[in-house]
């Protein structure tokens, strides 16, 4: 694989773009023995010949849904916990934390804002823990 292609593909890794009408998060890429280049996304693997990479990169546009990856992760994690339905509050906290993580990755100047957000989320979690302890205490009394 040519250095230029390697450099250009590295620019999209860890980022999200819209490709052929679908928002995708680009995880990694590699060249395989057939000479094709595989680009791995959170949903699928895309296969290109070296000559097709330039056209592929030109077809990448901004995502149609803002923070789609973070929202998809929250949704995916929610489904994985069968029998448990997180509150809207918890879903919002997760989405906010994922959004802050993305901000910090792209802009280190967002760290103070991320720290403040984490402090608020920690306080909210501590309140929820206290509520759970109180519910448990009341239910143990009623037994």
Per domain, the residue ranges of the chain are 3-58, 68-141
pLDDT of residue 73: 59
Asked whether 96 and 104 are in contact (CB, 8 A), the reply is no
pLDDT at residue 138 above 70? yes
pLDDT at residue 84 above 80? no
Q: What does DSSP say about strands 45-48 and 22-31: parallel, antiparallel, or unpaired? A: unpaired
Please give the Cα distance from 95 to 87 (Å, whole number): 12
* pTM score above 0.85: no
pLDDT of residue 43: 84
Please give the Cα distance from 123 to 104 (Å, whole number): 21
Q: Measuring CA to CA, which residue among 25, 47, 23, 24 is closest to residue 36?
A: 47
Q: Could you tell me which residues are beta bridge partners of residue 29?
A: 39
∠ CA 101-104-107, rounded to 5°: 150
Question: Which residues, in sequence order, are CB contacts of 27 under 8 Å at separation 6+?
Answer: 13, 14, 40, 41, 42
Asked whether 35 and 47 are in contact (CB, 8 A), the reply is no
pLDDT at residue 91 above 90? no
């Amino acid at each position: 694989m040519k250095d230029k292609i390697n450099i250009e593909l590295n620019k999209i890794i860890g980022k999200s773009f819209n490709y052929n009408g679908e928002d995708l998060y680009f995880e990694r890429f590699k060249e395989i023995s057939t000479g094709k280049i595989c680009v791995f996304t959170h949903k699928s693997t895309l296969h290109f010949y070296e000559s097709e990479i330039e056209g592929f990169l030109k077809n990448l546009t901004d995502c149609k849904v803002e923070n789609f990856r973070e929202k998809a992760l929250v949704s995916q994690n929610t489904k994985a916990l069968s029998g448990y339905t997180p509150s809207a509050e918890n879903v919002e906290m997760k989405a906010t934390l994922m959004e802050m993580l993305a901000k910090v990755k792209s802009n280190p100047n967002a760290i103070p804002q991320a720290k403040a957000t984490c402090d608020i989320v920690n306080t909210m979690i501590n309140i929820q823990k206290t509520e759970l302890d109180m519910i448990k205490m009341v239910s143990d009394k009623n037994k």
